[in-house]
Amino acid sequence: MKIEQQTTVVIGIEHLIGRVEQFRKGGYRLVQVNCTKIGEEFEINYSFEKDYRFENIRIIISPDSEVPSISGMYWGAFVYENEMHDLFGVAVKGMNIDFNGNFIKTSIPYPFRNLQFQGEGPCQGK
């Protein structure tokens, strides 16, 4: 049995700001933003909630795309956007606080961008 219904709508990057604005005007709170690398593309999910109604929008971008910041509408989004930049190397344009790659300090730049493990885990390659 599903605990809650979750919807995810895939939209074009050009519609991102307009759609987020609708959530903002509709009184939704921003729950999280996350990035996943699928093949050569990045899948970015924006999650919102109102009265325990959980809704997501998704954009799919190429690695060299620039994503507009939503921190103008949701001020707290800077933590997710800086993290997305520091771990995946996704360029985010117009962040209200831009740490220029120093929000999450990693030993190598953009460590989640090209994840590769070679024979380190017990299940690797099986």
Q: Which residues bind other proteins (CB under 8 A)?
A: 1-4, 6, 8, 29-32, 34, 36-38, 45, 47, 52, 54, 56, 74-76, 78-79, 86, 97, 99, 102-106, 111-112, 115, 117, 120-121, 123-124
Q: Which of residues 14 and 121 has its CB atom nearest to other proteins in the complex? A: 121
Contacts of residues 80-87 at CB distance under 8 Å and 24 or more positions apart, as own/partner, are 80/32, 80/33, 80/34, 81/33, 84/33, 84/34, 84/35, 84/44, 86/110, 87/35, 87/111, 87/112, 87/113
Least distance from other proteins to the Cβ atom of residue 15, Å: 21
For residues 47, 38, 66, 107, the Cα torsion angle rounded to the nearest 10 degrees is 100
Q: Which of residues 14 and 17 has its CB atom nearest to other proteins in the complex? A: 17
Q: Which of residues 14 and 27 has its CB atom nearest to other proteins in the complex? A: 27
